[in-house]
Amino acid sequence: MSEERPSGRKKYLIGRLWKYLSRHGFLIAAAMLCMLSGNILALWGPKLSGSAIDAMGAGGGSVDFPRVFYYVGLMAAFYVASGILSYILSLLMIRLSRKVIYRMRKDVFDRLSVLPVGFFDKYQTGDIISVISYDIDTVNQSFSNDLLQVLQSAVIVVFSLVMMLTIAPVLVLVFAVTIPLSVVFTLFITKRVRPLFRKRSKKLGELNGFVEEMIGGQKTTKAYGREKEVVSRFDVKNREAVDAYNKAEYYGTLTGPSVNFINNISMVLVSVFGALTYLNGGIGLGDISSFVQYSRKFSGPINEVANIIGELQSAFAAAERVFRLIDELPEKPDAQTARVLNDIYGDVCAENVSFGYTPEKPVIRDFSMHAEKGSLVAIVGPTGAGKTTIVNLLMRFYDADSGSIRVDGKDIYNVTRSSLRGAYSMVLQDTWLFHGTIFDNIAYGKENATMEEVVRAAKAAKIHDYIVSLPEGYQTVLSDNGVNISKGQKQLLTIARAMMLDCRMLILDEATSNVDTRTEKQIQEAMRELMKDKTCFVIAHRLSTVQNADNILVIRGGRIEEQGKHDELIAKGGFYSKLYYAQFETY
């Protein structure tokens, strides 16, 4: 999809969008039918009113009432029928767009759910959400409205032209002037306006970004008394946004008046030539009336298409973003030969594992370790040394570039992902809770969990007392702005969640970093219970947590610098002992 071949890209997008529509062939056919018949009925109106006027003669008692009423009756019938048809058409289109938008949102979400976690590390949540809400909406709006409009315009133009030709072929020559005029104008305006509108959106986006950042950091600004400076920064962005707006509007506002102008000019020409033709006896007054009405209808859509082209442009851009997301590569599917990992014993072993998030920047190099069943492995090291990466590899959130990892002697690349991940329970530093009751949040990992089980887990995590102190107890709904729940309490809930699971292996990634030390001490018993008989991987800043480990891996710059028991490492006087003593330093 390179820039040089925009037409190829557009074709490709239309093809993919068509796939969403073509599933509903019946709906589309019905809509087409309604659209055609509704429009043609409505378009018959001017012709009929013209005939009615002709039937009135020159007035003053010469009116042929039966004929007039015949035409008036037909007009009313045609208009009512066309009104009903166009309402049905709207309903059909709404139904169609409901199906398409549902499908598209589903496709995006389904893809999101199989994407590797690395994707979410790379992209901002706001970006992804704007695809699923705003972009899909834009595409849908455009394709249900604009597409219809284009087709409708085509019908109107063709029909009006035919009618005008039957009424007065000579007068049609007028459009030999106005049509080229509108085409030239349309080309001119779209070419000018498109980059200007793009810039306008960009500048507005920048302004909004700045606002979001600076209001979020308002306290910091106040702390340094920099309100005035920040406001003057804002003014610059504000100015730019307004300038871009004005520039875009400068050309953008040409469209409306110009459309009207071209309409008016057609009318002038039709009047003049119509009158001249009438003088020569070539045409009736009713004909002029119908002709003028058709000419208005005829020139309207041609200019409208110019507007629609602009809208389609933004719809294409949105569709591109939607499809780019749908096309993201999912996690590699499980190997054909992958088996389900069951009857787990809990022996984990890594050999010569190397890995980098990007090929040019390896994070883990030649990493080996062996964790026996029920042992406690601690992973320590400075920030950014690769501790969390090891967890990512163990649980196959990422696949290693080389080397092998085995659970109970089975290569983890040869078992199903879900069974591998199911073998671990996990408590992470960032406390993830969802909008739902406390009960649901704790029971999340275990299907059909009973209240007793949940309460037992909550008690063990020392969060039960807090929960029952809430008016709704376990049925309290956790929401962003509802209950005031602290970070530490959130963490205890995630610990309770992990306690619900019965796994042979456990990963604690800074699991108690948000819990203050006193509470941590209180839940130590529970943590010990949680860790009992399990092979545990513990990442921690606080060295007190890791002192009892069977094996401490000291990671530095992606390699294991040292490994061994606490006492051995202290005695060795290496990097670990330096880290350890640093905490007792008084300045």
Partner 1 sequence: MRDIMKYIRPFFGYISVTLTIKFIASVAELLIPSLLAYIIDDVVPTGEASGVFIWGGVMALCAVTALLGNVIANRMAAKSAGGITEHIRHDLFSKITFLSSSQLDGFTVPSAVSRLTTDTYNLNQLFARMQRIGVRGPILLIGGIAVTLVMDPGLTLVMIATLPLIALLVYFVTVKSVPMYTKQQGILDSMVRVVQENITGARVIKALSKTEYERKRYDRVNNDLADMEQRVGSVMAVTNPGSTLILNIGLTLVVAVGAFRMDAGLTSPGVIIAFINYFTIILNAMLGVTRIFVMWSKGQASAKRIAQVLGAPEELTEQPGGGTEDESHIRFDNVSFSYEKAGDNLSHVSFSVGRGQTLGIIGATGSGKSTIVNLLMRFYDADTGRIFIGGRDIRTIPAKELRGKFGVVFQNDFLFADTIRENIRYFRDISESSLEEAARTAGAAEFIESVGGMDYRLSARGNNLSGGQKQRLLIARALAADPEILILDDASSALDYRTDACLRRELASRLEGTTKVIVAQRVSSLKGADLILVLEGGKTAGWGTHSQLMQSCPIYREIAESQMGTAGEVDFDE
The interface with partner 1 within residues 52-91 (CB under 8 A) comprises: 52-53, 55-63, 65, 68-69, 71-72, 75-76, 79-80, 82-84, 86-87, 90-91
As a whole number of angstroms, the distance between CA 113 and CA 326 comes to 11
Site for partner 1 in 137-176 (CB under 8 A): none
- Residue 540, SS3 per DSSP: coil
Cβ closer to partner 1: 34 or 369? Answer: 34
As a whole number of angstroms, the distance between CA 29 and CA 41 comes to 18
Cβ closer to partner 1: 57 or 374? Answer: 57
Site for partner 1 in 455-484 (CB under 8 A): 481
Neighbouring residues of 360: CB distance < 8 A, sequence distance ≥ 6: none
Fill in the per-residue mask, 384 to 413: x = in contact with partner 1 (CB under 8 A), - = not in contact.
Answer: x----------x-x----------------
Q: Does residue 544 interact with partner 1 by CB under 8 A?
A: yes
Nearest Cα residue to 255 out of 188, 332, 155? 188
Q: Does residue 197 interact with partner 1 by CB under 8 A?
A: no
| Centroid of chain to Cα 10 | 21
Report the residue from 487, 528, 532, 572 that binds partner 1 according to the rule CB under 8 A. 487
Report the residue from 1, 94, 451, 483 that binds partner 1 according to the rule CB under 8 A. 94
Report the residue from 5, 18, 102, 335 that binds partner 1 according to the rule CB under 8 A. 102
Beta strands in 56-146 (DSSP E): none
Site for partner 1 in 329-368 (CB under 8 A): none
Q: Does residue 282 interact with partner 1 by CB under 8 A?
A: no
Report the residue from 7, 359, 360, 582 that binds partner 1 according to the rule CB under 8 A. 582
Longest pairwise C-alpha distance within the chain:
123
Please state the φ and ψ torsions of residue 345, each to the nearest 5 degrees.
Answer: -100, -45
As a whole number of angstroms, the distance between CA 118 and CA 397 comes to 8
Q: Does residue 117 interact with partner 1 by CB under 8 A?
A: yes
Report the residue from 21, 36, 132, 326 that binds partner 1 according to the rule CB under 8 A. 132
Q: How far is the CB of 445 from partner 1 (least distance, A)?
A: 4
Q: How far is the CB of 12 from partner 1 (least distance, A)?
A: 26
Q: How far is the CB of 85 from partner 1 (least distance, A)?
A: 8
Both tokens of 490, joined, read 């959130």
Distances (CA, A) of 385 to 171, 364, 380, 543, 557: 82, 9, 9, 16, 5
Q: Does residue 302 interact with partner 1 by CB under 8 A?
A: no
Q: How far is the CB of 565 from partner 1 (least distance, A)?
A: 14
Stretch that binds partner 1, among 99-107, 162-170, 178-186, 404-412 (CB under 8 A): 99-107
Q: Does residue 258 interact with partner 1 by CB under 8 A?
A: yes
Q: Is the dihedral of CA 408, 409, 411, 416 positive or negative?
A: negative
Q: Are 241 and 206 in contact (CB under 8 A)?
A: yes
Distances (CA, A) of 466 to 418, 445, 449, 471, 487: 34, 22, 21, 10, 14
Distances (CA, A) of 175 to 43, 143, 157, 190: 19, 30, 12, 22
Cβ closer to partner 1: 314 or 513? Answer: 513
Report the residue from 188, 234, 413, 466 that binds partner 1 according to the rule CB under 8 A. 234
